[in-house]
Structures are given as structure tokens and as C-alpha cells.
């Protein structure tokens, strides 16, 4: 049987000339439940409803000389409102509506500082500063509990309004819910709008998309380093002898330098940075079968970590343990495994479906999401590492495929790839599968391979 029949479609071009002797099971395979336990797959019914927090945003008066344009306040309000909509149970009241006693008030003093000289002639990029005031309930004393105002100072530039709004929205959410927000983060992804698969970056909500590379080739599998400075990816590059090889590249976002760090013959794919940034897990086929290796950020070979017949790809690191998950065809069909790099303990994590791919270890370290093929399409699933129960997060039957999950650094959201016969885009949802939003616009063409930046 050809490798493409058990590999994800994005690897077919790489692997079309190889073969695998193991037979692929066509039927669904499940671990039998223990006596008295529920089956492995559980029906996902969503989270319990929570009490909604409605916030009323009030803009405080400032001096005439420091007034900001009205459209700036509108932009900030719109972005803050959109950011908060990514979290269930938190929303801004409609602008212009009189607040009632059930709403919690948020106050912002926004000042645009006057400029002089050359910068005043330019009339743009003025400094912005101000204070965010959020209510705090003090411990009860004489007369009962009292409310005070917590002041959070901020500053920025006029052309950084969206960045400033993301920062303010994150502070508001933290104050009222205790949750960390991914609003200031970025997402890397691959789009073909230019006619080639190139690397793009955007804000977490899809705004400000920017094409980063212009290789005019096929680019796959971007991955961030922990410092947010480097992104690695696999690139099909033409060699001097005319052959094309999937090589591992490293982009320095600070300097713009692009360096080939692994050009070994065969596969150099699926790179994933370790949490400390000292190693990169990658699939290499230098000894025949594609196995997992550790290389340094400069590409030096450090260690081979799998060496069994079959195919090992798509590593994902645990954030708290020296361990990885990955996809292997060693059982006869692609399934998700975990490997401890401390004691070499190997565990098979999934036993269901025709084809499992794209495992992603959550920042909380207690669950792994992955794409699974049941029937003719892929959907996203979540595996609880403690109970081994699996819940289905998406249902694309009759619509399309959901795959390539990528966790936000806060663990509050998952980016994913959706593909139908007419469309291919990056979306974002909550970890329970609710709140789906499209992130990439149709103008970027078919988009795949989301990778969420650190914070």
C-alpha cells in the first residue's frame, strides 16, 4: 500500500514514491470499555450556561488640548467589543444605551498628546496615553462591602489603535473573569492567494494579514519558537541537480533573515520547538523510514527519538513535561502516540477512526486535540489524558473537513483549518467547539496550517 493512503493529504506529494507494508484497517476500531465504564467516545453537549457579564464602557472627559478624534474611540470600542465576544458570557452593552444597575461599568480616559515641530507637520502617529478604570470590590468592613476603582495606565501610538484595544480588552477580561486572553498574540498560517503557498502573519482575529515569504514554491507546517522571534517551516526547494527536496527553513522575524537549517536528503518536515527553545523535534528520513529526531535551532543533529518500522510525523511538545505526541503508522493506520523523552515510555493514545493526524498538546497539559477521520471526512476531537475519554468538537458531515488544531498560548481557544470543495480557511473556536469564527478572508485564497504565537 502507498504511504499516501495512510498519510494526511499535505504529505502526499512528499511521500508518493514510498511504500508501507502494513495493511490499513478500514473499519472503526475502539478499545473495549472497562466493566461498568462508558464507551470511549462521549457525546459532546457543550458547557453549562454561565451568567453573562454585561459591561458598560464610559469614555471620561479630558482637556480640550488632549482630545482624541471621535473615530479613534469608535475603533477602540469596536475592537474591544469584538475581542470580548470570543469569550462566552462577557459582552459590552450597546453604545448609546443607558446602563442599568445589573451592568458593570468600565471607564477609559483617552488622551492624544499634542506635538510640535516636524512631527506636528506630519500630523500622524501621535502618542496616545490614558488610564483604564475597572471596579474592585473591597473586603467587607464597617458598613459592608465597598467598591473602589483600579487604575491601569496605558500608552501607544495613533497607528497602533488595534494593538492598544487588544491590550485593554485583555485587561478588562482579566479583571472580571480572571482569564488570560490571547488578544495581543499573532497567528502564522499558509495561504495560496499569490499563486504559491506562502507564509502569512495576522492578528489573532485575522486583521492585518501580511505575506511574509515570497519563495514561489510550496511551504508547509510553520512553527514558532518560544521567544516569538523565529518561525520554522518546510519548503520545497530545487537542488542544483534539478531535484526538489522538502527542507527545513528558519525565519528570523527581527532581521528578516531566512536560513536553511536542515537540508538532509528526504524529509525535513513537521518541526516543533521545545518549550525551552533548545531543541526542535522534526521528521527526517535519512535512514529510510521517516522517524523523529531532535535537532538544535541551528540544525545540528542531537538525537534520534523514534526508530521503528513505519512512519512517525507531526510532533507536538508538552508544555510542562519533557514529552511529545506524534502520529505514527506503526499499528497499520495513523494513530496518535506519546513519548516521554526522560524514560522513553511510549503510549498509544488513540484507537479509533480510520486516520488520526495533527495532535496538539494543550497549554494546560491535560488534553490533546487531534483531527480524526470517521467515514469520509475529518473532524476535531479532544482526548482527556487522565480519563482517556474523547469528545468530538466539530461535525463537518456534509460540509467539509476540520483539521490542524493549534492552541492559543492561553489555552482558551483553538485555531483550525476548515476545507470544503469551494473553500479553505483558518478559523478560531473555544475549546468546547463553540464560538467558531472565520479568521482568514477569501481574498487570501486557500489557507492552511495555523500556528499560534507565544505571548
Q: Show me where the domains of the chain are located.
A: 53-177, 185-452
Q: Residue 369: pLDDT above 60?
A: yes
**What pLDDT score does 35 carry?**
32
The predicted pLDDT at position 1 comes to 30
What local confidence, expressed as pLDDT, does residue 91 receive?
Answer: 86
101 — pLDDT class (breaks 50, 70, 90):
low
What's phi and psi for 205, nearest 5 deg? Answer: -95, 10
pLDDT of residue 137: 66
Mean pLDDT, rounded, for 27-31: 29
Mean pLDDT of the 88-103 span: 74
Query: Residue 96 — very low, low, confident or very high, per pLDDT cuts 50/70/90?
Result: low
- Residue 138: what pLDDT? 56
Strand order in the sheet with 390-392: 41-42, 390-392, 377-384, 367-374, 355-361
Give 388-430 pLDDT, tens digit per residue: 999 999 999 889 999 999 999 999 999 999 999 999 999 999 9
**Quick check: 115 pLDDT over 80?**
no
**Mean pLDDT confidence for 74-89:** 94
Q: What is the mean pLDDT of residues 278-284?
A: 98
Q: How far is CA 406 from the centre of its chain?
A: 4
Q: How far apart are CA 170 and CA 172, in angstroms?
A: 5
pLDDT at 359: 98
Of 175, 140, 167, nearest to 55 by C-alpha is 175
- 313-351 per-position pLDDT tens digit: 999 999 888 999 999 999 999 999 999 999 999 999 999
Q: Residues 174-209: pLDDT tens digits?
A: 999 999 999 999 999 999 999 999 999 999 999 999
Of the pLDDT bands very low, low, confident and very high (cuts 50, 70, 90), residue 116 is: low
The predicted pLDDT at position 64 comes to: 87
Fold identical between 53-177 and 185-452? no
Question: Considering the chain, what is the average pLDDT of its residues?
Answer: 85
CATH number for 53-177 (one of 3.30.1360, 2.30.30, 3.40.50, 3.30.530): it is 3.40.50
Q: Which CATH class is domain 185-452?
A: mainly beta
Q: What is the mean pLDDT of residues 417-444?
A: 96
Ordered DSSP codes for 302-363 = EEE---SSS-EEEEEE-SSSSEEEEEE-TTSS-EEEEEETTT--EEE----SSEEEEEEE-T
pLDDT at 21 over 60: no
Going from the C-alpha of 394 to that of each of 18, 139, 391, 401, the distances in angstroms are 33, 44, 9, 9
Is the pLDDT score of 24 beyond 80? no
- pLDDT at res. 159: 87
Model confidence over 130-160: pLDDT tens digits?
999 998 865 555 555 567 899 999 999 888 9
Is pTM beyond 0.85? Reply is: yes
Q: Is 80 exceeded by the pLDDT of residue 99? A: no
Q: Which residue has the higher pLDDT, 21 or 49?
A: 49
Strand duo 390-392 + 41-42: pairing: parallel
Amino acid at each position: 500500500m502507498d504511504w499516501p493512503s495512510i498519510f494526511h493529504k499535505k504529505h502526499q506529494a512528499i511521500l508518493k514514491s514510498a511504500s508501507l507494508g502494513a495493511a490499513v484497517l478500514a473499519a472503526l476500531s475502539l478499545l473495549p470499555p472497562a466493566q461498568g465504564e462508558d464507551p470511549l467516545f462521549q457525546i459532546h453537549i457543550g458547557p453549562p450556561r454561565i451568567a453573562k457579564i454585561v459591561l458598560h464602557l464610559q469614555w471620561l472627559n479630558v482637556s480640550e488640548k488632549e482630545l482624541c478624534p471621535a473615530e479613534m474611540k469608535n475603533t477602540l470600542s469596536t475592537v474591544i467589543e469584538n475581542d470580548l465576544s470570543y469569550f462566552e458570557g462577557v459582552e459590552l452593552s450597546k453604545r448609546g444605551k443607558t446602563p442599568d444597575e445589573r451592568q458593570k461599568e468600565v471607564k477609559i480616559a483617552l488622551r492624544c498628546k499634542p506635538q510640535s515641530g516636524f512631527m506636528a507637520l506630519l500630523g500622524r502617529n501621535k502618542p496616545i496615553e490614558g488610564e483604564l478604570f475597572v471596579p474592585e470590590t473591597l473586603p467587607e468592613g464597617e458598613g459592608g462591602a465597598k467598591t473602589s476603582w483600579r487604575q491601569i495606565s496605558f500608552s501607544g501610538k495613533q497607528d497602533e489603535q488595534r494593538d492598544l484595544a487588544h491590550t485593554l480588552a485583555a485587561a478588562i477580561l482579566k479583571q472580571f473573569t480572571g482569564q488570560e486572553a490571547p488578544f495581543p498574540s499573532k497567528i502564522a498560517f499558509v495561504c495560496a492567494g499569490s499563486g504559491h503557498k506562502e507564509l502569512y502573519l495576522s492578528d489573532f482575529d485575522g486583521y492585518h494579514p501580511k505575506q511574509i515569504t515570497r519563495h514561489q514554491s510550496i511551504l508547509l507546517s510553520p512553527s514558532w519558537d518560544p521567544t516569538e522571534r523565529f518561525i520554522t517551516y518546510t519548503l520545497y526547494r530545487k537542488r542544483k541537480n534539478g531535484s526538489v527536496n522538502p527542507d527545513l527553513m528558519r525565519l528570523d522575524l527581527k532581521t528578516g533573515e531566512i536560513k536553511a537549517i536542515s537540508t538532509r536528503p528526504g524529509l525535513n518536515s513537521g518541526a516543533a520547538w521545545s518549550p525551552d527553545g533548545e531543541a526542535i523535534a522534526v521528521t527526517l528520513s535519512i535512514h529510510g523510514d521517516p522517524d523523529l529526531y531532535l535537532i538544535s535551532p541551528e540544525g545540528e543533529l542531537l538525537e534520534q527519538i523514534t526508530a521503528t518500522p513505519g512512519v512517525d510525523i507531526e510532533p507536538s511538545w508538552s508544555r510542562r513535561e519533557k514529552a511529545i505526541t506524534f502520529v505514527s503508522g506503526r499499528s497499520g493506520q495513523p494513530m496518535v502516540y506519546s513519548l516521554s523523552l526522560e524514560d522513553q515510555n511510549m503510549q498509544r493514545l488513540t484507537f479509533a477512526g480510520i486516520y488520526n493526524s495533527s495532535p496538539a498538546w494543550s497549554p494546560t497539559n491535560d488534553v490533546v486535540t487531534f483531527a480524526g477521520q470517521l467515514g469520509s471526512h475529518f473532524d476535531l476531537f479532544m482526548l482527556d489524558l487522565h480519563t482517556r475519554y474523547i469528545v468530538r468538537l466539530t461535525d463537518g458531515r456534509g460540509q467539509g473537513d476540520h483539521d490542524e488544531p493549534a492552541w492559543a498560548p492561553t489555552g482558551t481557544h483553538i485555531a483550525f483549518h476548515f476545507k470544503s470543495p469551494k473553500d479553505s480557511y483558518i478559523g478560531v473556536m473555544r475549546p468546547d467547539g463553540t464560538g467558531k469564527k472565520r479568521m482568514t478572508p477569501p481574498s487570501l485564497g486557500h489557507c492552511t496550517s495555523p500556528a499560534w504565537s507565544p505571548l
